[in-house]
Amino acid sequence: MLGRVDITAFLGRLSFLNERGDISDCTQYMTVRDTRRVLTRLRTLGLTKPGQPLHGLADDFALRQEDIPDDPEDSEVGRDLPAEVMRQLCANLDALEAVSSTDVRTAVELLIDTGRRPNEICTLPWQCLDRESDGSPVLVYDNTKNLRHARRLPIPGATAALILKQQERARARFPDTPADKLKLFPATLANPHGTKATTYEWVSAQHRAWVKNLPDFLVPTVIVEDGNRVTTMLLFDKNKIYPYTYRHTYAQRHADAGVPQDVLQSLMDHRQASTTQRYYRVGEKRRREAVERVTSMQFDRHGSRIWRQAKTLLDSEHARRAIGSVQVPYGTCTEPSNVAAGGHDCPVRFRCVGCGHFRTDVSYLPDLEAYLADLLRNRERLAAFANADPWAKAEATPSDDEIARVRRLVQRVRQDLDDLTDEDRAQIREAVALVRRSRGVSLGMPRVRQPLPDLRPERTG
């Protein structure tokens, strides 16, 4: 009689075949998962009851949840594409259309924009675009991997426009096919009515040929030479660019931007929160590396560099810095009473650039530049304003000392940036972008969340 011993032997055989290289991780995972579904379904249909074909099948002849190996998709967390690679890919989408078709280009654009699995995009029905009550567009798709249908994903207007154009093309090819039968990406062969979707294998083959013919991808990379960390431009392996990586890139981009974990879990349609959490572990590591790079260009209120060489911070040092300072306009504050009050007890009323406890770094350069422009603009406005008492104008007018201090800070940060090599400057800018996206400032002031990085600035909506 079949029992748990046979299940153990079955699992052991699959593990052996996987270790020997006869089957992939994905094949092992899908075989165990699908076998469990079949056995569960047979029992649900009552086929093991007396008088039924499987009567007598032992209860322990079943696969448990813990018998299913790790999902290969989850193990690929961290394989997202760098921003430089994504920008180059998006800039060459016309070349993809030239070597394949408009349908393939649109499918790849949807993979980039939505982070769905390739098969989920390829099999989209013609009626996959819907609107919320406020008119915002949503993509309606089937999560076939986890048997969850009609999932709804908020999408930007530019992505919705792509879908609308693809709907027009599909309808023009098959004007008589009912809308509920038509596919958004109809197959080109053996498909007289447009009811058969194009395959992931076809899109993947076209995508692979496109990437192969693109110029080399160069990304700034930190390496260690003679014990020193240096930044250089290295070739990015094109074999790491395939349709599924757009899903990892979508998830990692949102995690790095500070999207709450429960929101990202919903966006990715992950069943387990632990799957989503993996992206935040990668994001935390990258944020630490970015903070270390940015910290190497930290200044005091006089514009003097505090750290001349980048140093690796230990875990305890990260924790100390987190509780020993608080973010203030254009930098951080280390004044103990203000830190203890969470930034709400400043003795000098936020005249930060005149305080010895003030620190700033290269990531605050855009804020310092905007602050300087604001000080100059306000000084000119107050000079021309006649309906105020002299003491009120004097109190509100920015002082020459403050303007000179901010101008000196801006000049010093710019000068130190200009002194870097091209590779180091690119690495610092990447670190600054990551730090600014993940920064949260609590000052009792209105906050606007940093937008996601715009990989395609030519698009609107």
The pLDDT assigned to 156 comes to 92
User: CA 454 to CA 156: how far, in whole Å?
Assistant: 12
CB 267 within 8 A of CB 141: no
User: CA 422 to CA 308: how far, in whole Å?
Assistant: 18
The pLDDT assigned to 446 comes to 31
- Hey, what amino acid is at 169? R
Residues lower than pLDDT 50 in the chain: 309-314, 316-320, 440-452
User: CA 431 to CA 296: how far, in whole Å?
Assistant: 11
The pLDDT assigned to 312 comes to 47
The pLDDT assigned to 50 comes to 92
The pLDDT assigned to 16 comes to 94
Residues in the chain: 461
- The angle subtended at Cα 253 by Cα 252 and Cα 258, nearest 5°, is 95
The pLDDT assigned to 210 comes to 97
User: CA 145 to CA 154: how far, in whole Å?
Assistant: 20
pLDDT (tens digit per residue) in 17-67: 988 888 877 788 889 989 999 999 999 999 999 999 999 999 999 999 889
Residue 461's Cα: distance from chain center in Å? 19
The pLDDT assigned to 306 comes to 72
* pTM given for the model: 0.63
Instruction: Write phi, then psi, for 133 (nearest 5 degrees).
Output: -60, -25
pLDDT (tens digit per residue) in 196-237: 999 988 999 999 999 999 999 998 877 777 777 677 888 999
The pLDDT assigned to 154 comes to 95
The pLDDT assigned to 460 comes to 54
**Look-up: residue for tokens 């870097």?**
420
Going by their DSSP bridges, the two strands 148-154 and 298-299 should be labelled as: unpaired
Q: Which CATH class, in words, describes the domain spanning 93-212? A: mainly alpha
The pLDDT assigned to 445 comes to 31
**Look-up: residue for tokens 């993509």?**
139
How do the domains of the chain map onto residue ranges?
4-69, 93-212, 299-419
The pLDDT assigned to 146 comes to 81
CB 342 within 8 A of CB 326: yes
